Amino acid sequence: MCVDEVLRNDQHQNITGVSNEMEQKGPNQLEDTVKSLLKQRSMSLRTLSKRTDIDVASISRMLSGKQKANPDYLQRIAVELDVPADELFRAAGFDVGRTKSQDSLDFVRELLNGQEFSKQAIEMELAKYEDYARTDEGANLIVEKFLEKRQQVSGTGAFIEQLDKMYNGFLDSNSDEERCILGSGLLYFVLSTDMIPDYIFPIGYIDDALAIQITWNRFLLIHRTTNE
């Protein structure tokens, strides 16, 4: 696990993340909250199940507390019920809404608890994309998809700046090796193979951010070696 490394980067680069498990600290009021919202919308649990693509039995177990609340499920349910995700997270007993830096880091640690999320796994994906970036198809895909995906990430910060630098470097570099390295990170970003869903924004881009950081560090190493 590389959680501590990611969290250190978060302090300097505004990177956050999510997993499918986190510690529930408060009382679980999720069942009452969701049932009330369903009643207000004249929606059945079975209809909610179909719209969220979550098994109705799983929803029932989660609401009753027999199964630990899944942040992914809560996010999907919040979308269908048209309520802020924080409302369901709080109802499920999660401590959210803190703004101080250390509190934010503690929240990320809770979210990452139990996640099969590692630097090694991302590096393996990047290696695959590096081979693909060598092909015309891979290069064309980056040009076609990057700007569209880039527009989906609102705001500013180190993550966005590095993305833009990598894309410009990919377009301008005369080195095949540098282009392949940069291309691997860009392909990871534009293709829908994330280990953490991007729709859980802004905390859904942590694997993208780590992939970009790994790629950028590799690029700088190669670039410096080449120009010495």
Same domain, 123 and 211: yes
Same domain, 67 and 29: yes
**Residue 84 belongs to a domain:** yes
pLDDT at 10: 41
pLDDT at 6: 41
Same domain, 26 and 79: yes
| Confidence band for 57, pLDDT divided at 50, 70 and 90 | very high
**Residue 4 belongs to a domain:** no
DSSP classification of residue 198: T
Domain, as residue range, for 167: 119-227
**Structural domain total, the chain:** 2
pTM of the model: 0.49
Domain boundary among 112, 142, 165: 112
Of all residues in the chain, the percent with pLDDT exceeding 90 is 31
pLDDT in tens, 181-226: 999 999 998 885 544 444 444 445 666 777 888 888 888 888 777 7
Q: How far apart are CA 228 and CA 223, in angstroms?
A: 9
**C-alpha 195: how far from chain center:** 7
Same domain, 133 and 193: yes
**Is the pLDDT score of 80 beyond 50?**
yes
**Residue 5 belongs to a domain:** no
State the CATH number of the domain containing residue 35: 1.10.260.40
Average pLDDT of the chain is: 75
